[in-house]
Amino acid sequence: MSISAVDRKEQASVSSGLGRRYGQLLRGAKYTDCVFHVCEEQVKCHKLILSSASPVFEAMFFGPMQNNEPEPEIEIHDISSAIFKVLVEYIYTGVVDYNDLELVACIELYYAAEKYLLEELIADTLMAITRKLRFANILPALELSVCMGLDGLLEVCMTFFMRCCVNNGQYMSHLKEHYVHVSKECVKAIIAACKEPHKLLIWYVYEWTRQECEQLGLGPSDADLVVHDLGGKTSDWPVASGASDLESPALAPVVLVERCYYKACRPFTVDAESPLFRLRLKCSRFISLMGLVLNSRMTPNLLGHVQQLEYRESLRLDLCEVPAESDGPATAPVWSHVVQGQNTKYNCNLHLGWLREEACVLNPELTYELQIRWDSSAYGAEYPCSLQSCQADGIRFTDEDSFSGSLVKGLRYANLV
């Protein structure tokens, strides 16, 4: 082990030990010299420890405007007692258990970290928020970031919205079933970030305008007034003149991940009884599926014929959602791709890919079934199969029959969060 590695290990051990001791000091309320009143609760702390972590606390207790009382009492009105305790616990121990925090609590913690200028907590909390964003909570998160003026949070949420939601039929279906009404300022920010009339956004602005008119007691003829207030006209694409001009998020690089090979199995033969190969996928984060890597066909044994080196691959890919907590059949396809006559070498990797605009977004809350389907012209073709790892880079592969192996070797994807 190198000296630097030893040093890092010792530093981590010292930091952990100090964190435990400071945590005990906080929970025991020994030698405290300041009191915070938060939502009818008292939180007793130590001025020196708070000031060592936050320049805001340092100015409060030791700056020119310091409170000269021996044990000052401070009122906190804009942070809940639960989140303020998490903030103080972090200052003392350096630890936050984000698994116990809902998204709204994380956003409030981010606000508190911004207020007290805790840079590491700001970065860690933004990362936790990114992992917790979903179709169901992205609009409320955008609403909070706009209304609270949290630019860092707005950037994170808008990046997620642009990458995972805009031009995504799955999200559009979700939004039509679970419409969320947001403020005018939030709609302006979304329009400014999108910069062009995506199908989803046109529908949402139309629906938002209709519901806004209902809430304001206006008739359909007054829709022009509401749209004009967004900064545009109903006859063309509304441009939000008052919203901040956010940069469009950079395209994420495409990554190739392959499963580990363990053992060869009997080949999969395409015939009338089994013209379909199934594989289930579940990912730990939002990704954009950009391609697949399969085993190509085995060279056919044709007596009396010249052995061919290539063939023309034709197949259909369907991606279906699997009902939650169910081993039953998958739903109708949510995404499809057709491969027609692709020149392919026998006994090689078969790389299938498509344009980024044609990619399918995989939601970490869902399990998907990938179906590979051939028509009758492929009957008799054999594809090598093998036992392979079921986990690769946070993506879980579940073969239909774990003993028969799989012909799917990996996939290409782009991280969206």
Tell me, what's the pLDDT at 243?
39
With a cut of 70, say whether residue 154 has pLDDT above it: yes
Q: In whole angstroms, what is the distance from residue 73 CA to residue 28 CA?
A: 19
Tell me, what's the pLDDT at 191?
86
Instruction: Count the helix, strand and coil residues of the chain and give each as a percent rounded to the nearest 5.
Output: 40, 25, 35
**Considering only 120-134, 218-232, 356-370, which range has the smallest mean pLDDT?**
218-232
What contacts 341, CB < 8 A, 6 or more positions away?
312, 313, 314
Q: In whole angstroms, what is the distance from residue 400 CA to residue 416 CA?
A: 28
Residues of the chain with CATH 3.30.710.10: 16-132
Q: In whole angstroms, what is the distance from residue 127 CA to residue 133 CA?
A: 10
- How many other CB atoms are there within 10 angstroms of residue 259's CB atom? 22
In the structure, what pLDDT confidence band is assigned to residue 302 with cuts at 50, 70 and 90?
low
Tell me, what's the pLDDT at 248?
56
With a cut of 70, say whether residue 86 has pLDDT above it: yes
Higher pLDDT, 202 or 375: 375
With a cut of 80, say whether residue 109 has pLDDT above it: yes
Of 71-75, 240-244, 400-404, highest mean pLDDT = 71-75
What percentage of residues in the chain have a pLDDT greater than 90?
53
With a cut of 60, say whether residue 241 has pLDDT above it: no
DSSP 175-239: HHHS-----HHHHHHHHHHH-S--HHHHHHHHHHHHHHHHHHT--GGGHHHHHHHHTS-TTS---
With a cut of 70, say whether residue 2 has pLDDT above it: no
Tell me, what's the pLDDT at 245?
47
Tell me, what's the pLDDT at 226?
79
With a cut of 50, say whether residue 234 has pLDDT above it: no
Tell me: the pLDDT tens digits for 195-210? 777 778 888 888 888 8
Tell me: the pLDDT tens digits for 316-372? 999 998 887 656 677 788 899 999 999 999 999 999 999 888 888 898 988 999 999
Tell me, what's the pLDDT at 404?
85
Q: In whole angstroms, what is the distance from residue 261 CA to residue 383 CA?
A: 15
Q: In whole angstroms, what is the distance from residue 40 CA to residue 43 CA?
A: 10
> Does the domain made of 16-132 have the CATH classification 3.40.1670.10?
no
Higher pLDDT, 310 or 28: 310
Q: Which CATH class is domain 254-300+308-415?
A: mainly beta
Residues of the chain with CATH 2.60.120.820: 254-300+308-415
Q: How many residues does the chain have?
A: 417
Radius of gyration of the chain, Cα coordinates, nearest whole angstrom: 28
In the structure, what pLDDT confidence band is assigned to residue 235 with cuts at 50, 70 and 90?
very low
**Considering only 157-161, 240-244, 274-278, 385-389, which range has the smallest mean pLDDT?**
240-244
In the structure, what pLDDT confidence band is assigned to residue 306 with cuts at 50, 70 and 90?
low
Q: In whole angstroms, what is the distance from residue 85 CA to residue 43 CA?
A: 7
Tell me, what's the pLDDT at 244?
43
Residue closest to 392 by CA, chosen among 241, 296, 301, 258: 258
Tell me, what's the pLDDT at 263?
92
